[in-house]
C-alpha cells in the first residue's frame, strides 16, 4: 500500500514538473500565403541523381517513360513538386548547355570535376529537363553558368528555351524537335559564386550579376525572375553587398543552409548516431530561423518595399556518404531523424514567407537528404519523402500563426552556436483555398509520448483526421531490402471537443491533421 502511494506521488510530481504541451492556432489572425515553391526540389548532375535516379534512357530495362524512370516519376507526382532547380549546384558553373542538345551520339562528354570526376555524357540536357518539368507539372528553375561561362552563352540559352520567333536559337531548338518555347520563369545567375561558382568577392559578383542578367531577355511573353547567387549560412556581408549593389536589378536573392556538423572532417553517419547527436541535429536545423531572420533584416533595410524575394535554394541534412558508395557522389541514407529535420524546417519556413518565397531541398533523388533512393531497378521512398507528402496540403494555403508551449531539452555537444534549449514539439498550421484547416505536429522526443492540447482559435471543427509517420527508433529507415519500415499510416489518437483538440503523439512522430 505504502509502495503504491509512493509511486502515485512520484507520478504526480513528474506530471507537475512536466509542462503541459499546448499548441494554440490563431486562425482568427491569418498570415501570408505559403507559396507552393517552399516545397521546391533540386536535381543536380551529381552522383546518381540524374543518371540512374531520374533518368535511365529509353533503351533501359528499367521501366521508363521516354527515358524517365516510371517508379520515380509516379512517386514524385504524389509530392506535387512545385519547382525543380537544375543542373546544379556547383555543376551549373561548369556546364555548357550546347553540349546537351542535339543527337545524343554527337553530344560531347565532360568531366564532372566537382563530383568525383565522373564522366558526364550529356545525354540528359535542356530538352530532357524541360520535358521532365512538364511531366511533373513543376516550374523549371534554371541555374546559369557565370563562373566559367560567357554572357553570350547564358543569353543564348534563354533565347533557346523561351523564344518563339524566327530567332537563331528558337530555330535551333525546332531543329532539335521542340517547336514551342518552354515555360521558364526562374533563372539563377550563378551558384555559390563565393565558392565553387567562381571564388568571387561580393562586390565583383554583384557587378557580374548586373552584366549577365542584362542580356537575359524576356522573349515572347515570358518574364524572367532573375535570382542572384546568395550567401552561405552566416555570411551576412554577402547579402548586404548584393542588396546594396545589385538589389534593384534582381527579383530574388538565394541562400544556402545545410544541417551539417561542420565542413571539415567527418560529418557523421546518416544511420549510426547517439541521442545527443540527434538533439544537436535538430538544434542545428532550428538555427535556420535565426539565420533567416538576420538575412531578412538586412533585406528589409535595403528593400523596405519587400520587392526582392529570398530563396533558400539549397537546404537539408549533409552526412558522410554511405560506406561502399562512390566518393563525391553524396549518396546518404535517410532516417526518421531526417524526417524530423524536414518537418521542423518546414514549420519554420512557413513563418517567413513575407520574404521567403522558395526553398529547394537538396536533393530530389540519391543525393543528400533525398526524397527517393534507387539502386538498379529498386526504389525506396525515404522518411523525408513522407513528410513532403503529408505537408503538401500546406502548399498555397494561408499560414495560421501558431504558439507552442512545451517541454524543452538541453542540447549537448560541440560546435553549438545555437540555443541550448530545444522545444520537444514543433507545429504549423494553414487554411487552404476551400477553407479547410490543416495542422502538422512533430514530437521531437525520442523517449516520450506527448499529449498535446491544441487550442483552435477561430476554427469550428467537430473532428480531425489525418496520417502519422512514426518509428520505434529515431534511426529507423527504409532500405532496398526493407523498403516499407517507415511509412505513413492513418492516425486515430485525436479527439476534438469545445474548440480544443487532444492529440497523443508517439515518440519520433510527425502527424498532419485535417479539421472537419
Q: Which residues are catalytic?
A: 192, 314
How near is the Cβ of 291 to ligand AHR at its closest, in Å?
16
DSSP, collapsed to helix, strand or coil, labels residue 27 as coil
Catalog residues that contact ligand AHR under the rule CB under 6 A. Answer: 44, 88-90, 191-192, 314, 362-363, 368
Smallest gap from residue 297 Cβ to ligand AHR (A): 24
Q: Which single residue brings its beta carbon nearest to ligand AHR?
A: 89
| Smallest gap from residue 320 Cβ to ligand AHR (A) | 14
Shortest Å distance, C-beta 147 to ligand AHR:
11
Backbone angles phi, psi at 146, to 5 degrees: -110, -35
Of 159 and 338, CB closest to ligand AHR: 338
| Residue with smaller CB distance to ligand AHR, 45 or 351 | 45
Residue closest to 459 by CA, chosen among 1, 26, 149:
26
Map 271-331 to HEC letters.
Answer: CCCCHHHHHHHHHHHHCHHHHHHHHHHHHHHHCCCCCCEEEEEEEEECCCCCCCCCCCCCC
Residue with Cβ nearer ligand AHR (88 or 252): 88
For the chain, helix (H) and strand (E) counts, in that order, are: 11, 27
We find the least distance from the C-beta atom of residue 331 to ligand AHR, in angstroms, to be 12
Give dist(CA 15, CA 21) in Å, integer.
Answer: 11
Instruction: Give how far Cα 403 sits from Cα of 106, 152, 297, Å.
Output: 59, 51, 22
How far apart CA 177 and CA 104 sit, in angstroms, is 13
Q: Smallest Cα–Cα separation from 432: which of 393, 469, 404?
A: 393
Q: How far is the CB of 363 from ligand AHR (least distance, A)?
A: 6
At CA 61, angle to CA 55 and CA 67, rounded to 5?
Answer: 30
In sequence order, the β-bridge partners of residue 362 are 42
* Cα separations in angstroms, 387 against 271, 285, 435, 492, 516: 18, 15, 22, 18, 22
Kindly state the cell numbers that stand for 437. Answer: 484547416
Alpha carbons 248 and 302: distance in angstroms, whole number: 10
Closer by beta carbon to ligand AHR, 191 or else 353: 191
314 or 476: CB nearest ligand AHR: 314
The minimum distance between CB 199 and ligand AHR, in angstroms, equals 13
Q: How far apart are CA 454 and CA 459, in angstroms?
A: 11
Whichever of 44 and 139 has its CB closer to ligand AHR, that residue is 44
Q: Residue 88 or residue 383: which is nearer to ligand AHR going by CB?
A: 88
Pick the closest to residue 40 from 366, 336, 312, 372 (CA basis).
312
Per the structure block, which three cell numbers stand in for 307? 520587392
Residue with cell 515553391: 37
Amino acid at each position: 500500500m505504502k509502495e503504491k502511494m509512493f509511486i502515485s506521488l512520484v507520478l504526480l510530481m513528474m506530471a507537475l514538473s512536466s509542462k503541459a504541451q499546448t499548441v494554440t492556432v490563431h486562425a482568427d489572425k491569418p498570415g501570408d500565403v505559403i507559396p507552393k515553391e517552399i516545397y521546391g526540389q533540386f536535381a543536380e548532375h551529381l552522383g546518381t541523381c540524374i543518371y540512374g535516379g531520374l533518368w535511365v534512357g529509353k533503351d533501359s530495362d528499367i521501366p521508363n517513360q521516354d527515358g524517365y524512370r516510371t517508379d520515380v516519376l509516379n512517386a514524385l507526382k504524389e509530392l506535387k513538386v512545385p519547382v525543380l532547380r537544375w543542373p546544379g549546384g556547383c555543376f551549373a558553373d561548369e556546364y555548357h548547355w550546347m553540349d546537351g542538345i542535339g543527337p545524343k551520339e554527337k553530344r560531347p562528354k565532360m568531366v564532372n570535376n566537382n563530383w568525383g570526376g565522373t564522366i558526364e555524357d550529356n545525354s540528359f540536357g535542356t530538352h530532357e529537363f524541360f520535358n521532365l518539368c512538364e511531366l511533373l507539372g513543376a516550374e523549371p528553375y534554371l541555374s546559369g553558368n557565370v563562373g566559367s561561362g560567357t554572357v553570350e552563352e547564358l543569353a543564348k540559352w534563354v533565347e533557346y528555351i523561351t523564344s518563339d520567333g524566327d530567332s537563331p536559337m528558337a530555330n535551333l531548338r525546332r531543329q532539335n524537335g521542340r517547336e514551342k518555347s518552354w515555360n521558364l520563369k526562374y533563372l539563377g545567375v550563378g551558384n555559390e559564386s563565393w565558392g565553387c561558382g567562381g571564388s568571387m568577392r561580393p562586390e565583383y559578383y554583384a557587378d557580374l550579376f548586373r552584366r549577365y542578367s542584362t542580356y537575359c531577355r524576356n522573349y515572347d511573353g515570358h518574364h524572367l525572375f532573375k535570382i542572384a547567387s546568395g550567401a552561405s549560412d552566416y555570411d551576412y556581408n554577402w547579402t548586404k553587398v548584393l542588396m546594396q549593389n545589385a538589389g534593384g536589378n534582381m527579383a530574388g536573392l538565394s541562400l544556402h543552409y545545410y544541417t551539417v556538423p561542420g565542413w571539415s572532417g567527418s560529418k557523421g553517419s546518416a544511420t549510426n548516431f547517439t541521442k545527443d547527436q540527434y538533439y544537436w541535429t535538430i538544434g542545428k536545423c532550428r538555427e535556420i530561423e535565426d539565420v533567416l531572420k538576420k538575412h531578412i533584416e538586412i533585406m528589409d533595410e535595403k528593400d523596405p518595399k519587400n520587392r526582392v524575394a529570398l530563396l533558400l535554394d539549397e537546404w537539408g541534412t549533409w552526412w558522410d556518404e554511405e560506406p561502399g558508395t562512390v566518393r563525391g557522389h553524396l549518396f546518404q541514407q535517410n532516417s526518421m531523424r531526417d524526417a524530423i529535420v524536414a518537418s521542423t524546417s518546414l514549420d519554420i519556413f512557413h513563418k517567413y514567407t513575407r520574404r521567403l518565397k522558395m526553398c529547394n531541398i537538396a536533393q530530389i533523388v540519391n543525393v543528400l537528404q533525398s526524397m527517393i533512393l534507387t539502386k538498379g531497378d529498386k526504389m525506396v521512398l525515404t522518411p523525408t519523402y513522407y513528410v513532403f507528402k503529408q505537408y503538401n496540403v500546406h502548399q498555397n494555403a494561408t499560414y495560421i500563426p501558431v504558439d507552442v508551449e512545451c517541454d524543452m531539452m538541453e542540447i549537448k555537444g560541440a560546435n553549438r552556436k545555437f540555443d541550448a534549449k530545444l522545444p520537444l514539439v514543433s507545429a504549423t498550421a494553414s487554411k487552404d483555398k476551400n477553407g479547410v484547416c490543416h495542422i502538422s505536429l512533430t514530437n521531437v522526443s525520442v523517449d516520450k509520448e506527448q499529449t498535446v492540447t491544441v487550442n483552435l482559435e477561430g476554427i469550428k471543427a467537430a473532428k480531425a483526421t489525418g496520417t502519422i509517420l512514426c518509428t520505434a527508433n529515431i534511426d529507423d529507415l527504409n532500405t532496398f531490402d526493407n523498403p516499407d519500415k517507415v511509412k505513413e499510416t492513418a492516425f486515430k489518437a485525436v479527439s476534438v471537443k469545445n474548440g480544443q483538440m487532444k492529440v497523443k503523439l508517439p515518440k519520433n512522430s510527425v502527424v498532419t491533421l485535417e479539421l472537419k
